[in-house]
Chains A and B, each alone.
Chain A
């Protein structure tokens, strides 16, 4: 429940993604040129690993598996994308990138509790 070190700014180059481990929580860091985002390491559509399937270009994160895409400046959904991207708050301190990690963010298809509502709510 605090600001956690993700990586150095220089570790994640312009228009790229980097997978980091923060106390056992896997987080993907995106550098979209105008800023950084930190988020769960999977696509909210079908759980594709974004470090493999994700592409950042023109401030847009696209999962190449089914072309779901988000504008990383404002997190707007693009095209046929149906689900929001969850993100951790990010800040830069000198050369270091930090994220506010209270608990691991997940998409609900990962939760075991009361599956029916989850199955619906998150598709």
Chain B
């Protein structure tokens, strides 16, 4: 067995909201005895890190640069499965759907849902190393709900002010936790920035959607929200020099807006092409039209934005009020397939939306465009 190296980069990972001036605080950091040590045994050897009180194993590892496998980080996908070799743990959300992918009776866990009660050894069926990868390491932030703006009858745009600046890549997401609601929810940033203290996010209300319902019914500006991030690998990097194809449904358009924002800031569409296909049901369900128009106007004729309406046939035309935006009738991946025929040259594709839409888009790209996996980016939440 390889020697375990311990990483203890931070003694207090959870800053209170807006504790800007830590030096003025008379309190000592959390007592070290509450910190649990996690040893990770993986296919690529053994490593270790400290887990602070209340922290899940996944969050503790990720923020310290340990490359634990994950996708949704919220208990659904099952990608962060591991096995407890020794030690005691507590599971946060017993009914997490991802538990169907682990054998709990054999000590398997989802690292995103598990907090250590003692020092633990966990075995992870992947290559795990310690490094500082391409994306900024995620951290805990205190967040304050600042702006709540209703965009359509079931879509809300909201903004969070953070306790410290955050840097993230276009296409990444954060996890939010609200007091009184179980589990954390993942939301992709609509905005883009480095060292910013404000995040713009969007949520679509779904039946049974706890956070969406909370935002629509109870949330008010000034409330505090725990934030962890940034996470996610479906990111845009201008130096990769691709044309961009974005296929989104509903609030999945958030990450696309972030990509368009960065591309526009850096005048990426002067020398590259961009194609956005945004699927909603009806004209009344469209949002971010003003933003799309602005991006198209700034793109030197190299950006096309098409709204695919699945339940309302307005013909193939431009939007009456926002002529920069095209309208089409059909499921978004079908509209995309028709419009993109023969235009997939040097394309990197980004996909986000409800699972059936993601599946349809993937099939369109793999079968229709012969896209290889390295040219498709999406984060699997289902």
Contacts and interface: CB of A to CB of B under 8 A. Distances in A.
A73 to B, nearest CB: 15
Given A46-B78, A60-B372, A64-B359, A119 B366 contact: no
Interface in B330-382: 359, 362-363, 366-367, 370, 372-374, 376, 380
Given A62-B366, A119-B123, A123-B126, A46 B359 contact: no
Nearest to A118: B125
Given A46-B78, A46-B101, A115-B106, A120 B362 contact: no
A57 B54 CA distance: 46
A64 to B, nearest CB: 4
B367 A15 contact: yes
B83 interface: yes
B123 A67 contact: no
B362 A64 contact: yes
**Which residue, of B43, B79, B362, has the highest number of chain A Cβ atoms within 10 A?**
B362
B372 A78 contact: yes
Contacts of A64: 359, 362-363, 366
B367 A69 contact: no
A55 B78 CA distance: 22
A65 interface: yes
Contact of A80 (B78, B359, B370, B373): B373
Interface in B110-137: 123-127
Interface residues of A, number: 25
A62 B78 contact: no
Nearest to A68: B373
A118 B119 CA distance: 24
A55 B380 contact: no
A96 interface: no
Interface on chain B toward A: helix, strand, loop, or mixed SS?
Answer: mixed
A58 interface: yes
Contacts of A80: 373
Contacts of A67: 362, 373, 376
Nearest to B107: A115
A78 B373 contact: yes
Interface in A55-86: 55, 57-58, 60, 62, 64-69, 78-82
Nearest to B375: A79
A57 B371 CA distance: 9
B123 A120 contact: yes
Contacts of A82: 126-127
B333 to A, nearest CB: 12
Given A119-B83, A123-B125, A123-B126, A66 B367 contact: no
B367 A79 contact: no
Interface of A: 15, 46-47, 55, 57-58, 60, 62, 64-69, 78-82, 115-116, 119-120, 122-123
6 contacts: A46-B78, A46-B79, A57-B366, A64-B363, A78-B373, A82-B127
Given A79-B374, A80-B373, 13 more contacts: A46-B79, A57-B367, A62-B373, A64-B362, A67-B373, A68-B373, A69-B372, A78-B373, A79-B373, A81-B373, A115-B106, A116-B83, A116-B123
